[in-house]
Amino acid sequence: MSRWRAPVVLSLLALLCLAVAFCMFAWSATSGPHGDLVLSAAVGLTAASPGTALLAVMKERSAVRRFSWFTASVALLSCLAAMLIPLAVGWVHTMRSYFCDKFLQHKVVALQMYEAEYGALPPADRWCDALGPEDGGDSWFMCPERPRLGCGYAFNSALSGGSLDGIRDPEHTVLLFESDRGWNAAGDASLLPPEPRHGGRDMYGMVMAFSPSRSVARTALMDGAAGIVWDPMPKDR
């Protein structure tokens, strides 16, 4: 029986690596400032699993001149999981984009509620401070792809202290957008991150009530083909 101990232990260790890696991939989508570290650890564990499983097969073959269905299955599963690492990493970034979209929509609705209560949007230079108490705390200002920033978004300064009722094209007018400038950042397209966070695309929250966030390719924005409006453009113009 002792001849089987090492292969079985190694196979179980390979399965444990896969199970922990699976949990870490899921956690890395929303794990705050440690998301990228957790993602790297998940990739490392998944990559280490085939080596451990194949070592179990070799030890079993050396001990009993054959290998069981268990060690063979674990080795096959581990190799398959390692081949799927790029898909797993892509899934993590897709989920981060999904959560970024939801966080951005939440803040747009909070700004709409602020404007309905006070009759105007907050001043651009303290929009985060204005939303903080009613927006659920600092965590709601986080973009999952930039969790170390105090706030991963910026306010369209052209709308500072203005009213949403005076906007001619609310469906395409930017209210919030992604930025690396941190807390209370406000301005225009010049504040966008140097590199888009979501596969070459940036997220925008539009003025229109309950309008979903827009994901726009940076190239389309630079070419002027994105249909993004920064000037509030009053209806009477």
Q: Where are the domains of the chain?
A: 2-83, 97-223
| Closest C-alpha to 85, from 93, 97, 73 | 93
Specify which residues 74 forms β-bridges with: none
Label residues 47-78 b or e (16+ Cβ within 10 Å = b). Answer: ebbbbbbbbbbebbeeeeeebbebbbebbebb
The Cα 51–Cα 63 span in angstroms is: 18
Q: What is the pLDDT along the chain (237 residues), one digit of tens a residue?
A: 455 578 888 899 999 999 999 999 999 987 667 888 899 999 999 999 999 998 888 888 777 667 688 888 999 999 999 999 999 999 999 999 998 888 888 899 899 999 999 999 999 999 999 987 554 455 678 888 988 888 899 999 999 998 888 788 888 899 999 999 989 999 999 999 999 999 889 999 998 766 667 888 888 887 776 778 888 764 444
Sheet architecture: strand order including 186-187: 186-187, 153-156, 174-178, 201-206, 214-217
Q: Find out whether 182 and 149 touch, Cβ atoms under 8 Å.
A: yes
pTM of the model: 0.83
Q: Find out whether 42 and 21 touch, Cβ atoms under 8 Å.
A: yes
